[in-house]
Structure 1
Amino acid sequence: MSMRTKAVLAMTAVALGGGLAAAPAATAATSSAVAAPLRAAATYSCSVHWRETANYAGYTAGYSWAWNDVVSPGHVGDRTAEVQCLLKYWGYNPGTVDGIYGDDTTAAVKKLQSDYGLSKDGSVGAETWPVLRGGYRK
């Protein structure tokens, strides 16, 4: 467990009056860091909608507006939940939308990459985000 995670858990425990039970789920849902044995206790809801900004237009579930950040197996957090929601929206099954980039999410990304003629590396980066977003750069 990283020092940052320990600090978040400690602060959460203080805020909850000493109850540590809820802290791991909160950490898993908000962290974008890679964590090997971490398991999220909660699932994310997916409400995908169109969004436009000054520079981009595309679909989002509201968890991240990443376009070029690489999100890959082992990542945990909001960017992974964004990937999972967008995969579900386009008909690819990432498994449970839990913010954990595991085997099901990797397989769904590889299937999408194969269908669109992209490199099948299982990671979401600069080539794969535009397909998931279904949008464009202005």
Structure 2
Amino acid sequence: MLNELVDKWKKIAEDEGLTFSSEIPESEIIINADKERIHKAINNLLSNAVKFTNKGGRITLMARDFLKEVEIIISDTGVGIPKGDIPKLFQKFSKVGKTSTQIPGAGFGLTTVKQIVDLHEGLIKVSSELNKGSTFIIKLPKSSRR
């Protein structure tokens, strides 16, 4: 699933003048998750990364496979999010910062991302610095091989 997203978003990012890189383990990662919903969550985060990163910027998708959980990390060198706005990011109908008003629909997908992560008993964290970029980390529990 992650490789499909890499292929899709690498092309989109390059078309927008961005560099897209990925670090995904070669071995298959198995998690207890609804593939379509997790795909949608990651897709929403990558979409926002492209929207909020200026030409010449960089977007990275990483996955880390731990014993009991998987981390999916999306980082960018975009406009960043004001610290005071981070707690409001996942609230329904919340748009934050000046730049979000310039891009239609920006930020609305974050509520959906949070709901999907919560449904999977996961966790989402955000770190951001204005004019330097943002990093979103999704942690999801793993499942045993069937």
Judge same fold: TM > 0.5, yes or no: no
Bigger CA radius of gyration: 1
Indicate the structure whose relative CO is greater, using CA pairs within 8 Å and at least 6 residues apart: 2
Larger strand proportion of the pair: 2
